[in-house]
Amino acid sequence: MRLTETPVLTVRGLTVRYGDGCPACGTSLEKNRCTACGTVWALRNVSLELFPGEVLGIVGESGSGKSTLMKSLYFDLTPTEGTARLRDYRDGGASIWEASGAERRMIKNLLMGMVYQNPVLGLRMDFSAASNIAEKLIAAENRNAAKMTGRVTELLDAVEILTSRMGEAPKNFSGGMQQRVQISKALANNPALLLLDEVTTGLDLSVQAKVLDLIRKIKARYGVSILLVSHDLAVIRMLADRTIVMLDGQIVEIGLTDQILEDPQHPYTQQLVHSLI
Amino acid sequence: MALLKIDKLSKNFYLHAQDRQISSCQDISFDLKQGEFIGIVGLSGAGKSTILKCIHRTYLPLTGEIVYDSRAFGPVNLAAATEREILYLRKYEIGYVSQFLNVMPRTTAKEHVMSALLEMNEDPARAETAAEEMLAYFRLPAALWDIYPNTFSGGERLRLNLAHTMVKHPRLMLLDEPTASLDNKTKLLVKDMLIRLKNTETSMIGIFHDLEFMEGVCDRVYNISEGAFVC
């Protein structure tokens, strides 16, 4: 037997550039900025694969391109070059960045879910928690009110939010609760891919533990594949099967999470791991 | 064919910040047969854990081959296998036990053991039954099963670690100083359990400080000094 899994997500040559670039860009970069023309290379030639049921961690310092990668995948910005193929979009035969506006909405509503570090980006703060989730369900052609209420209840229950509070607006919730509403919204239509961008950052330890526990349960229960950006190596150690290390818009190391943390190869990864408190 | 054949395994660590190379083990070769238990002894820093971590692929070997005769793929060189293959083998065939406990927050002892089976897509009810049987087998008091293990003693943590790994019935078990910091009574309990495991045809490589402990458990013992086997 050989492992013949089809990746849920395959990214090839993803490049995000701010500026026109110049012939000197290849040799005159200071970190990720060209000293000759000022072009910033937020991502350079990033390629990765995410397999079914896998958690792929992404670590790196601020400005290394982690969030740019996530935003590219969720259509929040348009990449300069590259392809991203989803197994469930045209059977992996086309890049999602070639998709039409309607297809992009379908991909965001049905095939992937996103949880932002800042809940303001992922939730309508003045709508109720239930409405936030129902919006996703309606986008997936659900029209039956009773069924939708049942699903909203199930999702809020899964993230441990009292259903008695489902009518309240997330602006009245704590940061941890807002993150959990975001997670339930992202899961509404059982996507195969979940993008989690620094979801535990800024939460106190007990709430962080609750969110981590929730992510673990979601992985076990729904078999969803997760791209997990975090600068917290403890979070990565606990959740990620494999980990990517990014620096100045490039992937500098990829490996099994325990190998990355215990036998780092790249100078930056060694520096990162040796900075652990 | 041996279950595991290690041929001229060497591992160095290169520290970029200091521009220094640290040699950890050199030219290690040995075979492990099905159902066999090999013990490795040596001083701290001799390179014992490095061998186990190279087999587990927590460390990337520098040179050499680690050929494991897997049930799923047949012979696989663990030093060069893909990460997905390694993850698969860790999930289904190769277990690793250390003296340290790594448990998700808000996870009880029983849930921790169950999680090993759930990731293999085992039915939750059957996973719970198997977890309870394994915790009882390793004599962890039932009163502790529904408790978060961060309050456990060293011996209790070790038994939980063993239960977490053994509930999957791995073909190859790597024991990285599991008895360090245990009192004699607990060590005897662990010794008894390892003998029982050996009788289940689980093959094991274990690192121990205590020569007396290894008597009656290990079929062969290798002594390692400064990264190489000595006779």
- The secondary structure element, H or E, covering residue B147 is none
Identify all chain A residues contacting B86, using CB atoms and an 8 Å cutoff: 256
CB within 8 Å: A242 and B87: yes
Instruction: Kindly determine whether residue B87 and residue A262, on different chains, have CB atoms separated by under 8 Å.
Output: no
Over 80: is that where the pLDDT of A2 sits?
Answer: no
Is residue B186 within 8 angstroms of chain A, CB to CB? no
User: What are residue B73's phi and psi, to 5 degrees?
Assistant: -115, -5
The domain ranges of chain B are: 4-230
Q: In which band, very low, low, confident or very high, does the pLDDT at B179 lie, cut at 50, 70 and 90?
A: confident
* Residue A221 vs residue A1, higher pLDDT: A221
Residues of chain A with pLDDT > 70, as a percent, come to 99
Q: Fill in the amino acid letter for B29.
A: S
What is the tens place of the pLDDT at every residue in B193-213? 888 888 887 899 999 877 788
Q: How confident is the model at residue B46 (pLDDT cuts 50, 70, 90)?
A: confident
User: pLDDT tens across B81-98, in order?
Assistant: 999 999 999 999 999 998
Residue A251: enclosing H or E segment and its boundaries? strand A250-256
Q: What angle do CA A213, B53, A219 make, to 5 degrees?
A: 20
Which CATH number does A9-276 carry?
Answer: 3.40.50.300
Give the chain A residue nearest B102 (alpha carbons). A238
Q: Which CATH number fits domain B4-230: 3.20.20.220, 3.40.47.10, 3.60.40.10, 3.40.50.300?
A: 3.40.50.300
Residues 6+ apart with CB under 8 A from A102: none
Interface residue of A258, A261, A273 to substitute, partner B, most B CBs within 10 Å: A258
Q: Which residue's entry shows tokens 């997905």? A: B84
> What's the confidence (pLDDT) of residue B228?
82
Cβ neighbours for B125, distance < 8 A, ≥ 6 positions apart: none
Instruction: Note the pTM of the prediction, 2 decimals.
Output: 0.93
Contact A259 B59 (CB under 8 A): yes
Contacts of B47 in chain A (CB under 8 A): none
Is some CB atom of chain B closer than 8 A to the CB atom of A157?
no
Edge-to-edge strand list for the sheet holding B94-98: B94-98, B172-176, B203-207, B37-42, B220-225, B228-230
Phi then psi for B18, rounded to 5 degrees?
Answer: -100, 0
Q: Categorize the per-residue pLDDT at A1 as very low, low, confident or very high, splitting at 50, 70 and 90.
A: low
Copy the structure tokens of residue B107.
């996870």
Please give the pLDDT value at position A202: 75
Distance CA B5, CA B24 (A): 19
pLDDT at A277: 65
* A143 interfacial to chain B (CB closer than 8 Å): no
Assess whether pLDDT exceeds 80 at residue B180. no
* Residue B99 in this model has a pLDDT that exceeds 80: no
**Is the CB of residue B31 less than 8 Å from the CB of residue B2?**
yes
> What average pLDDT score do residues A59-87 get?
95
> In the prediction, which pLDDT does B189 show?
79
Element (H, E) at A151: helix A145-158
Residues A122 and A95: beta-carbon distance below 8 Å = no
pLDDT at A124: 96
**How far away is chain A from the Cα of B213, in angstroms, using its nearest Cα?**
29
**What gap in Å lies between CA B38 and CA B218, rounded to an integer?**
5
